[in-house]
């Protein structure tokens, strides 16, 4: 996130959305401040800046509206806020320290000029602005301290979470970060909660549930960037360009003819899989080593791989850095759509989507909203029992022992069987063999083995539930 300060006497603030501020070239004397707005929730910081600097009387919004944050800003000025401080027509929420009176003062005194798609006309538009006095005395609104409980667990790396749908999986990843995340600084001048290496397995796409911080039009707009290969419009990168038009560069003589030629990594992966379904070489990368290692805004998604297993296309995506509140669910829908397109092209069904998030984090400005969503939609739930993909167990009593046999989900017996007089010694052997993948299955197994042990001691009949 970048902010450029310039002429403190200017009435003009320039909001460049996802476009880097330096890409919007203006003489420095013509604006007071120029900066990004990546998320609608960032509007709270913009309002604080304006209240503290009432000389600002015009906001020019321009640049690439990648996540709809520009629409959120337009909605604020055209329609205002609801009783709960949410922006009308938006999922963005202002914190409670920004009162309705403060918001009204800004809306009444500051004019918003929408220049998205008209970036070449900004300087001429600013020149026509009337010079205005400050709309009041400076008002300093303290940042609302976002609070979230944390277990502050140390030396933990790796959380495997599974969701039937993207929306369900998102609740689990947000809960995990808010519950176990370390409070630490970030490179975006805002605190974060972070856990390392969340591996999320998604079985099906599902609906865009009400608890997600966006709606269907937002997702469809995001698809334009994720799948599009058009001009970057000031963005340091787009996944569409990196995946479908990866730039081939090289300094050696033999590569000079190919410099800046593009390579469609998705098409290449499909061709690999079509020719050799058992290939391990269907992969795509977004990282340009030299360019991105020194960039202030390198890609978060770095790698996607595809494998065909039992006639289904499985997709795994790796993110070096992942905003689990705003970015993760949007990324998941786009990745699932990519998987769907490739599956249809190959004539196979979709398997699981797996997303590996190395730095899984939530920023401080989302703590309150994340906590409220988890409390309303997740904490009150009970984990439903689902079939363990690794199989199940039959438990019997015979010859003075507990007898346990392992079967696959299709009821085929395996060579794994266990026997003993104590529930504890049996479930420890089962866990050692790695035959249980779901915590609710492990809990059920412990309960049933305990019942079997009690029946063995008392001489009563045991029937597995």
Q: H or E segment at 163?
A: strand 159-163
HSE-up (13 A, CA, CB side) for residue 222: 24
Alpha helices (runs of H) in 306-352, residue ranges in sequence order: 327-346
Q: Hey, how many other C-beta atoms are within 10 angstroms of the C-beta on 262?
A: 13
- Cα-based distances in Å from 355 to 197, 227, 280: 10, 18, 18
Q: What is the C-alpha to C-alpha distance for residues 362 and 364, in angstroms, rounded to an integer?
A: 7
Residues annotated catalytic, as ranges: 300
- Cα-based distances in Å from 413 to 170, 311, 425, 429: 35, 23, 22, 18
Nearest to 59 by CA among 50, 51, 68, 67: 50
Q: What is the C-alpha to C-alpha distance for residues 116 and 72, in angstroms, rounded to an integer?
A: 13
CB 51 within 8 Å of CB 143: no
Q: What is the C-alpha to C-alpha distance for residues 461 and 396, in angstroms, rounded to an integer?
A: 10
- The tokens for 18 are 């996802």
CB 404 within 8 Å of CB 436: no
Torsion, Cα 125 131 136 142, to 10 degrees, reads: 40
Each residue of 375-386: b (16+ CB within 10 Å) or e? Answer: eebbeeeeeeee
- The tokens for 285 are 């990368």
């Amino acid at each position: 996130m970048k902010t450029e300060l310039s002429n403190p006497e200017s009435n003009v603030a320039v909001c460049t959305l996802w476009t880097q501020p330096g890409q919007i070239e203006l003489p420095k004397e013509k604006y007071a401040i120029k900066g990004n707005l990546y998320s609608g929730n960032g509007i709270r910081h913009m309002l604080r800046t304006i209240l503290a600097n009432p000389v600002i009387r015009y906001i020019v919004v321009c640049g690439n509206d990648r996540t709809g944050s520009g629409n959120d800003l337009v909605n604020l000025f055209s329609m205002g806020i609801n009783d709960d401080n949410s922006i009308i027509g938006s999922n963005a929420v202002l914190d409670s320290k920004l009162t309705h009176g403060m918001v009204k003062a800004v809306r009444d005194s500051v004019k918003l000029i929408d220049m998205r798609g008209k970036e070449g006309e900004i300087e001429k538009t600013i020149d026509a602005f009337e010079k205005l006095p400050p709309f009041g005395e400076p008002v300093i609104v303290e940042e609302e301290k976002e609070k979230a409980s944390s277990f502050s667990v140390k030396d933990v790396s790796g959380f495997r979470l599974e969701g039937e749908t993207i929306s369900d999986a998102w609740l689990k990843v947000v809960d995990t970060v808010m519950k176990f995340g370390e409070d630490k600084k970030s490179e975006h001048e805002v605190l974060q909660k972070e856990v390392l290496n969340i591996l999320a397995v998604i079985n099906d796409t599902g609906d865009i549930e009400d608890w997600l911080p966006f709606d269907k039009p937002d997702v469809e707009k995001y698809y334009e960037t994720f799948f599009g290969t058009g001009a970057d419009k000031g963005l340091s990168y787009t996944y569409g360009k990196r995946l479908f038009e990866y730039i081939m560069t090289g300094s050696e003589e033999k590569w000079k003819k190919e410099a800046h030629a593009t390579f469609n990594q998705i098409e290449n992966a499909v061709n690999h899989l079509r020719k050799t379904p058992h290939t391990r070489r269907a992969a795509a990368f977004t990282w340009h080593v030299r360019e991105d290692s020194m960039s202030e805004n390198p890609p978060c998604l770095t790698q996607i791989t595809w494998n065909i297993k039992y006639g289904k296309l499985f997709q795994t995506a790796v993110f070096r850095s992942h905003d689990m509140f705003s970015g993760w669910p949007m990324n998941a829908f786009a990745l699932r759509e990519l998987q769907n397109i490739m599956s249809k092209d190959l004539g196979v069904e979709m398997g699981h989507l797996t997303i590996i998030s190395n730095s899984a984090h939530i920023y401080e400005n989302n703590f309150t909203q994340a906590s409220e969503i988890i409390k309303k939609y997740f904490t009150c739930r009970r984990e439903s029992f689902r079939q363990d993909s690794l199989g199940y167990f039959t438990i019997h009593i015979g010859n003075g022992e507990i007898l346990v046999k392992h079967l696959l989900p299709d009821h085929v017996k395996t060579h794994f069987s266990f026997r003993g007089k104590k529930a504890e010694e049996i479930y420890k052997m089962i866990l050692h063999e790695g035959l249980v993948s779901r915590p609710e299955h492990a809990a059920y197994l412990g309960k049933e083995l305990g019942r079997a042990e009690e029946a063995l001691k008392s001489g009563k009949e045991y029937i597995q539930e």
